[in-house]
Amino acid sequence: MIRRYVIGNPIETDSVVKVISPESGIVPYFQTLDKEKALTLPMSKWDKVFGLGETVRGINKRGFKYISNCKDDNSHTEDKNSLYAAQNFFVYYGKEQCFGMYVDTPGKVCFDIGDTDINVFSIVFEDFDSNIYVIDGDSILDIVKQFRGIIGKSYIPPKWAFGFGQSRWGYKSAQDVRDVVNNYEALDMPLDAVYLDIDYMERYKDFTVNSETFPDFKGFVKEMKDKGIHLVPIIDAGVKIEEGYDVYEEGVKEGYFVKKENGENLVAAVWPGRVHFPDFLNEKTRKWFGDKYKVLLDMGIDGFWNDMNEPAIFYTEDNLRDVFEEIKKYEGKNLDITSFFRFQGIVEGLQNNPEDFKRFYHEYKGKRYRHDKVHNLYGFNMTRAAGESFERNSPDKKILMFSRASYIGMHRYAGVWTGDNQTWWSHLLMNIQQMPALNMCGFLYCGADVGGFWGDTTEDLLMRWTEFAIFTPLFRNHSLRDTRNQEYYRFTDKEGFRNLLRLRYALIPYLYLEFVKAAENDEMLFKPLCFEYPDDEMCYETEDQLFMGDNIMLAPIYKQNATGRYVYLPEDMKMVRFRSFEDYDEEVMQKGIHFVRAELNELLVFIRKGKSLPLAKPANRTGDIDETDLTYIKY
Ligand code: MIG
């Protein structure tokens, strides 16, 4: 049962597609504190909270506060309250009460889950106005399914997007991309896509291609397609200010960009230098910007990733001017340490300054809103612009699309990747723990930068990460320029990596079937153990294992130098230790705790009783997999 409660005068977000008439009473379970703009709930010692999508920390979110405020923060340490997403759905699971809640408001909201007071859950709003959906059900999975039923079906990408994609910020030319593809081919390693980061553009201008480094782009796309390789270019939110650039000129002429209070277009700076931001909340702008993707679709492109759409801002022109003024005050003074740090902070504070979000406005559903009031809808609507345009311009062909910033509702148009992680073991664990929370919020096509984005990866980390990532729908190795190159062919155990990539391709029939089932039935692909076994206390303690689809459980190794791990089996299972798709051993194991061994090049899959794991003969492209020729490992 789902009930809707209205607080104040909420801004419509289009995240819920089912019409639910509002209740007259006050929000149940919580106490409403009007003056504090908060909802509070005392928590019993045992009570747990699950969900909130892409956030830091573990699967049970208790013990920290999470602030929905889409943020370009490239250091995902565990003290960070906000990452790129705003996904305000959670399930409260206590001994006394159990319910789901979706807090639908486009502004800033803080979920303080036993942070300020270990026994209190409070939801604190910047603006109290919101739609609150309360979901009662028989189990966590039932609540999730009901919630998913009101937000619309999850995006399903084209099948090739389940293949492996190689990416790097730093592939500078068609020749660089060719080299990557040739290296994979030379080692007979599977690959379906190569991603193009901002380097492919002409001076970082959206919907342009650098004609010196990528001469005859259309021909190059075809050359790659003939080899079965899809190129996936990035699109950024900011539009470069440059005379003669059509996107800029049309946007100015038609008034498609966000404006300041005085009516001038906001000037900010991102990679292209000075930019204007399209007003994606405005339907007309969405249509216009969405149609621009056609420039690349017409060249044969069939996939995109949307970046910098929180939006990320290096600085705004107005703030820069103020900062220069401010700095002058310090000139020639003998700075004491306090004023020195203040001085230093002034310049550092230019980037992603929250005050800048109060400088500009949107035209949204016939009204004008200051950006900070609708901030969390920006990336969603950029990606929606693309998704709606694909429906118009490419109705018969599925297009790959995923985004960095997100809000619930965007899951109907695209997936997400989890942004700039680090080459840390803890971020492999975070990847494992984020997947089910994202699924709860409708985001099924997801993945992290495999191997880690920032920093130099190591062979063992990349291998362990890959052993998990071959089960994630988006499977992409991506990294930052000037870090160690991390394409799989560069490492010592080439055979080990080849085996893992091939195992991914052998798994694609299972992965795809389970994905489509989850999308069509509003279910989760990755499930924490306790979602299936709510009466088994050990399952709550086990936050580093997941059910994946209906048939298997994963227990990834995410620790340096580990050659095994403790695994908890909530039921009898058959363990399969894979060295490759055809070299594995099987062992039936009893419910309980076991220490299981897995060398660096070995990975563990646990098959549930009465189920089986189908494996195809691997191919080097998704399209070449023979789905009629499957081997089943059965228990
Ligand atoms: O400010 O396009 O998260 O994946 O490689 C950095 C360059 C901008 C951030 C993305 C990352 C991408 C990078 N982008």
d(CA 469, CA 450): 7
**Is residue 87 within 8 Å of 408, Cβ to Cβ?**
yes
- Mean pLDDT throughout 578-604? 98
- The predicted-structure confidence for 22-66, as pLDDT tens digits, reads as follows 999 999 999 999 999 999 999 999 999 999 999 999 999 999 999
Q: How many CB atoms lie within 10 A of CB 33?
A: 13
Using CA atoms, how far apart are residues 295 and 384, in angstroms rounded to an integer? Answer: 17
Peptide bond into 528 cis (omega under 30): no
Which of 298, 303, 299 lies closest to 219, judged by CA? 299
Q: Tell me the pLDDT of the chain averaged across its residues.
A: 98
Best substitution site from 83, 172, 232, 234 to test ligand 1's pocket, by max atoms within 8 Å of Cβ? 234
Q: What is the pLDDT of residue 339?
A: 92
DSSP string, 292-346: HHHHHHTTT--EEEEESTTT--SEEHHHHHHHHHHHHTTTTS---HHHHHHHHHH
Give pLDDT, residue 64: 98
Output the residue whose Cα is nearest ligand 1's atom 12.
Answer: 169
pLDDT tens-digit profile of 133-160? Answer: 999 999 999 999 999 999 999 999 999 9
Which residue's CA is the closest to the ligand 1 atom numbered 6? 308
371 in Cβ contact with 362 (< 8 Å): yes
* pTM as predicted: 0.98
Q: Cβ distance 91 to 143 under 8 Å?
A: yes
217 CA from centroid of ligand 1 (Å): 22
Q: 19 exposed, middle or buried (CB, 10 Å; 0-12, 13-18, 19+)?
A: exposed
Residue with tokens 């504190």: 33
H helices, E strands: number in the chain: 14, 38
Q: Is the CB of 404 within 6 Å of ligand 1?
A: yes
Cα separation, 222 vs 238, whole angstroms: 28
Contact 150, 17 (CB under 8 A): yes
Calculate how far, in angstroms, residue 84's C-alpha sits from the geometric centre of ligand 1: 12
Which one-letter amino acid corresponds to residue 450?
V
Average the pLDDT over 108-134 and give the result: 98
CATH number of 2-151: 2.60.40.1760
3-class secondary structure, 174: helix
Instruction: Tell me the per-residue pLDDT of 522-574, one tens digit each, with 9 for 90 and over.
Output: 999 999 999 999 999 999 999 999 999 999 999 999 999 999 999 999 999 99
Tell me the per-residue pLDDT of 339-391, one tens digit each, with 9 for 90 and over.
999 999 999 999 999 999 999 999 999 999 999 999 999 999 999 999 999 99
The CA angle 123-124-130, to the nearest 5 degrees, is 85
Q: What is the pLDDT of residue 94?
A: 96
CATH 2.60.40.4040 residue ranges for the chain: 512-634
Residues constituting the chain: 635
The domain made up of 512-634 is a member of CATH 2.60.40.4040: yes
Number of the ligand 1 atom closest to the C-alpha atom of 271 = 1
Q: Which of 167, 171, 197 to mutate to test the pocket of ligand 1 (most atoms within 8 A of CB)?
A: 197
Give CA–CA dist 266/356, Å, rounded: 10
The verdict on the CB of residue 197 being under 6 Å from ligand 1 is: yes
- Given a contact cutoff of 8 angstroms between Cβ atoms, the answer to whether 516 and 156 are in contact is yes
- Give distance in angstroms: CA of 72 to centre of ligand 1: 10
- Tell how far the Cα of 404 is from the centroid of ligand 1, in angstroms: 9
Pocket of ligand 1 contains residue 192 by CB under 6 Å: no
226 Cβ neighbours under 8 A, 6+ residues apart: none
Q: Could you read off the pLDDT of 476-503 as tens digits, one per residue?
A: 999 999 999 999 999 999 999 999 999 9
Cβ–ligand 1 distance for 169 under 6 Å, the answer: yes
Determine whether the shortest distance from the Cβ of 72 to ligand 1 is under 6 A.
no
Handedness of CA 435, 440, 442, 444 (dihedral sign): positive
395 three-state secondary structure: coil
CA distance 67 to 82: 5
pLDDT of residue 593: 98
Give the mean pLDDT of 503-531: 98
Return the residue matching tokens 């959206």: 206
Examine residue 311 and say whether the peptide bond preceding it is cis (omega within 30 degrees of 0). yes
First to last CA, the chain: 37
List, by residue range, all CATH 2.60.40.1760 domains of the chain.
2-151
